[in-house]
Structure 1
């Protein structure tokens, strides 16, 4: 295994028997025969993300090892659950403060967000199963140890998760340039902060689920911030308002 990558059919099949979390399985396009069929079936039954890619992609990732048409990505750390994150807030006697990430793909951004979330006292982070980076070794390193103390839950549907949090009494606020200035939005109380993907921001469907939309003041010629920087600015505005 190289940096949390399992290469080859036997390695992936054996991983199914363990309790380690598989983030994603890459299958070579057109491969459906023999044990590949078994891998696809079991992956689907376990709810793992399956991605079909060309042979060149697998060749590049395997660096010369025989991949036999399949590579799996193993999470460096175990995932938590939304319930555990809510329980952390309850145990501390605090209003829930949760960071919801809508398709962050850069592991450095995710690691930096986990680090800042820990520092500001957020109770946990929510990421989607698909089209987003998981808890890789790079994420762990960038978090500077925060990944050991900040639970991360992986969910199938971000929009539905926001609805679930709203039913539990949380306000959902997302970052978007078309929103109200962050100083004018009430960010106190139980809250989930929604941060969008690099480049595209919060998706339309997710944005429609949110109670508030807020923006960060910008005075320069460039009109956007790195996702982890934007998340950090808004996390600290939430803390500032809570400390009033």
Structure 2
């Protein structure tokens, strides 16, 4: 007798198997399904997605920045070639450190017809500097197309001090520390003029940032009128951090700005240990540097005058410090 197709468990429907519908144990997914439902989180920016055009562009820009940084580092570590008859004579008169004097072949024999070349040759000889004659084509290449007038002075890279070294110089002097910090000054003539004023008013040194600021070029040396040979210039990797270290050492950080809180002549702390902070041409003190100033003073000037040159303002402030200490 055949099985009754209507009896339970004997369904003849296609795909139906005996025991279907019974609850039996099944293998787990180990949480895979739950993780899939949870998703992968926020989509990363295009610059971080592998193979995306935006990522390739960002990587190319980063390589370019690195290349520029390396080129800047090589330029700072390479000797500077000071060009032109007047600049070379002025540099030699100011006793700027130099390693050689370059003259285009034939110009040494024309010294009698050009007093500046003749004087440069005499000054270099007095200092024992090597005289190197080169062809005009070679010197054009060395000058990279700049006007050279047939003469150039090779100036070695400046040997910067560490910001902490200026504190040691101040301690050895027996006087209250006076350090000048320059925030983002880009004109070498302004740097040289501030160095000259700092030396004149018994400062213990000048600090400049390593980036986005001028260093001690031959032009800065020349403008300092020899003061750079007597006063150390330090270079700070991070100027706000250097100012914080000066604060920890007991110095008052005094910023100088046209919108300062106190008139220069009203501030009564110049007789104590001071780090005088001056800002860049036009933009003044940067936000991070200003935040590291214990006080910001201003020089009262006529309303018709918008501002003072940074080297002039620094000279006035340094005179006020010297007057307070006398």
Same fold (TM over 0.5): yes
**Following TM superposition, by how much is the alpha carbon of 1:63 offset from its aligned partner in structure 2, in angstroms?**
1.6
TM-score of the superposed pair, with normalisation by structure 2: 0.54
Cα RMSD of the aligned pairs, angstroms, is 3.1
SS of residue paired to 1:134? coil
Q: Equivalent of 2:257, from 176, 184, 187?
A: 176
SS of residue paired to 1:154? strand
User: Structure 2 matches for 1:149-228, cutoff 5 A?
Assistant: 149-179=230-260, 180-186=262-268, 187-228=270-311
Name the residue aligned to 1:232: 315
**Following TM superposition, by how much is the alpha carbon of 1:188 offset from its aligned partner in structure 2, in angstroms?**
1.9
- Cα distance change of structure 1 residues 152 and 110 upon mapping to structure 2, 3 Å threshold: same
SS of residue paired to 2:301? coil
The structure having more radius of gyration, on CA atoms, is 2
Structure with the bigger RCO (C-alpha within 8 Å, sep 6+) is 1
- Cα distance change of structure 1 residues 218 and 224 upon mapping to structure 2, 3 Å threshold: same
Moved over 6 A (4+): none
**Following TM superposition, by how much is the alpha carbon of 1:222 offset from its aligned partner in structure 2, in angstroms?**
1.3
User: Structure 2 matches for 1:78-117, cutoff 5 A?
Assistant: 78-117=159-198
Measure, in 1, the Cα distance between the counterparts of 2:214 and 2:302.
31
Stretches of structure 2 that go unaligned for 5 or more consecutive residues are 1-59, 76-140, 147-154
User: Structure 2 matches for 1:24-43, cutoff 5 A?
Assistant: 40=67, 43=70
- Cα distance change of structure 1 residues 92 and 219 upon mapping to structure 2, 3 Å threshold: same
Stretches of structure 1 that go unaligned for 5 or more consecutive residues are 1-28, 51-58, 65-73
Measure, in 1, the Cα distance between the counterparts of 2:156 and 2:285.
25
Going by fraction, where is strand more abundant, 1 or 2? Answer: 1
